[in-house]
Structure 1
């Protein structure tokens, strides 16, 4: 049964859950790719006596010239190694422990939202971030991310997100059929946090899958445009695009404040 598009209905519930996508929303996914290439280069250098740096630069060049796809095949071919090693290199890439950093605006917004009301008890109110002083209610933070579960959890751990989020949904934990745009990850967020759709805000970068189901469920949606991100050039029709568009996650603050104001005025 298709989901009813409730986006046209008034949304008059205060935002309670702010839920983020991961790749190219909170950090630059190119960091993971680079980190993975380094892990593969180190493996080949240690196992076959090849030059670590040359291997890494070759992979980077192939990525720029040919995109993702058969990079490891080319590296093996050009270095006289058996093509049957491809699956092993893919496993090295996927299982490595990445070195990642938040986009600066992502680290800031997570800090500001996390230090909202429940974390300020006994603290000096005037020292709180402006967003926490203005949004006089508790905000729960969440994450929904697609991709191979082991890979995504390694990213989550590298960024320290387990200590920041009230709920983390790696959709692959429930099967590939539960990847976005499946309603399953959004529904699990609502069930676990005990919130209604109209109180949820989802921030992502990919209009192919991030917003269409969230909007049908009644969530507020925000697209973050990341130059260099894999989805930066994608533009879809209105059904698939978000309610709001931003270029910096700090611009999320006035959106949340506006949603609160609409409720207060109503």
Structure 2
């Protein structure tokens, strides 16, 4: 009898570079403003990227509207354009490699590998990302926490429990790989999951460091480094 092992990933800055989505969204907003007001979309895009580097993601659209003398009440419209656009995204190379390895694991091993995602964020936005990355055909289970309500976002135990309930796996048969110590690992560890933090230079959470309770069991700098961890935990060779 095979014993299922669940390898569950975060999405943003774990499987792909979230900046890709931000830039893709900026392009959609720039095109919308260019088409609506006869503005130069490349200049708009450059301004948004400059504001991102200078001030972070706070009030970029507000400032762009002020810069061009446009009604700032349009912010909600621009946010909707940003969130609803169909992004152009690619997996990190190491993400594609590890997913192929895990999906095509050696057939005579005693464990069956189940792949999944738990991700926070507006449901429509996250599903657009997942579809753009072609992950619906790769993952056995996808939990977009916003589908269950904002109270179910990480670090709520709900998404982790749903994985176990839907897959019928025990906590010690699960590992969660993410990048944000403020929410990714604390509950997973309390529930008995194994955890691994991927450190992506330039990632949104790269500079965040927390105490032992919030950090992961393992630190990795590439998803290929999961292979010896899975071998150590479950004798799973991929």
TM score, norm. by length of structure 1 = 0.86
Match of residue 225, structure 1, among 196, 199, 205: 199
Match of residue 39, structure 1, among 28, 43, 46: 28
The answer as to 2:56 corresponding to 1:93 is no
What 5-or-longer segments of structure 1 have no aligned partner?
A: 1-13, 121-132
Match of 1:162 in 2: 136
Deviation at 1:138, TM superposition (A): 1.0
Match of 1:59 in 2: 48
Deviation at 1:136, TM superposition (A): 4.3
Match of 1:23 in 2: 12
| Aligned-CA RMSD value | 1.3
Q: How far apart are the structure 2 equivalents of 1:37 and 1:24?
A: 18
Deviation at 1:137, TM superposition (A): 2.0
Q: How many equivalent residue pairs?
A: 234
The answer as to 2:233 corresponding to 1:259 is yes
Q: How far apart are the structure 1 equivalents of 2:101 and 2:110?
A: 13
Q: Is the 8 A contact 1:179 1:185 kept in 2?
A: yes
Q: Is the 8 A contact 2:185 2:216 kept in 1?
A: yes
Question: Which has the higher relative contact order, 1 or 2, with Cα contacts under 8 A spaced 6 or more apart?
Answer: 1
The answer as to 2:51 corresponding to 1:77 is no
Q: Is the 8 A contact 1:37 1:59 kept in 2?
A: yes
Q: How far apart are the structure 1 equivalents of 2:50 and 2:72?
A: 20
Q: How far apart are the structure 2 equivalents of 1:20 and 1:226?
A: 14
Q: How far apart are the structure 1 equivalents of 2:41 and 2:19?
A: 19
Q: Deviations over 1:106-147 (max 9, x none)?
A: 000001101124xx5xxxxxxxxxxxx7x5421000100000
Q: Is the 8 A contact 2:4 2:173 kept in 1?
A: yes
The 5 Å alignment of 1:105-116 reads 105-116=94-105
Q: Deviations over 1:30-55 (max 9, x none)?
A: 00000000000000000100001000
Q: Is the 8 A contact 1:15 1:260 kept in 2?
A: no
Match of 2:188 in 1: 214
Match of 1:6 in 2: none
Q: Deviations over 1:185-229 (max 9, x none)?
A: 000000111100000010000000000000000000000000000
Deviation at 1:15, TM superposition (A): 6.7
Runs of 4+ in structure 1 over 6 Å off: none
Match of residue 148, structure 2, among 170, 174, 198: 174
TM score, norm. by length of structure 2 = 0.96
Deviation at 1:22, TM superposition (A): 0.2
3-state DSSP class of the match of 1:92?
A: helix
Match of residue 112, structure 2, among 138, 141, 144: 138
3-state DSSP class of the match of 2:230?
A: helix
What 5-or-longer segments of structure 2 have no aligned partner?
A: none
Q: How far apart are the structure 1 equivalents of 2:209 and 2:22?
A: 24
Deviation at 1:80, TM superposition (A): 1.2
